[in-house]
């Protein structure tokens, strides 16, 4: 870890965490997750009782290549849930 921090020119204690939080890949994933959350909200508006497996199936039907675990994570992080 020390070598990696030195090569990337970041402080070992706080710099790595800050760098990781703002890494380009992370920002892109967050933007993709927000797009996904928008689609999930649309599906839940149409089908309020759906959980992550059914939302995943509906996204796939609409042409998304998506994993149920990612849908589950995005729903959990944003407090999205079907009405039970």
Q: What residue segments make up the domains of the chain, in order of their start?
A: 27-84
The Cβ of residue 68 has, within 10 Å, a number of other Cβ atoms equal to 16
User: What separation in angstroms does the CA of 63 have from each of 3, 54, 57, 60?
Assistant: 43, 14, 10, 5
For 52-63, how does the pLDDT look when each residue is reduced to its tens digit (9 = 90+)?
Answer: 999 999 999 999
**Res. 84 pLDDT band, cuts 50 70 90:** low
Question: What ranges make up the beta strands (E) of the chain?
Answer: none
pTM passes above 0.85 = no
Query: Is the pLDDT at 44 greater than 90, yes or no?
Result: yes
Nearest-angstrom CA–CA distance, 14 and 81:
35
Give the C-alpha separation, 19 to 6, whole Å: 13
- Beta carbons of 34 and 77 less than 8 angstroms apart: no
pLDDT in tens, 9-41: 766 666 667 766 766 777 788 889 999 999 999
Q: What pLDDT shows up at residue 54?
A: 97
């Amino acid at each position: 870890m020390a070598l990696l921090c030195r090569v990337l020119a970041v402080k070992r204690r706080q710099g790595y965490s800050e760098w990781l939080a703002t890494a380009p890949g992370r920002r892109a994933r967050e933007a993709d997750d927000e797009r996904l959350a928008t689609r999930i909200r649309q599906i839940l508006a149409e089908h309020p009782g759906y959980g992550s497996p059914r939302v995943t199936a509906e996204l796939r039907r609409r042409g998304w290549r998506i994993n149920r675990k990612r849908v589950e994570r995005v729903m959990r992080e944003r407090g999205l849930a079907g009405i039970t």
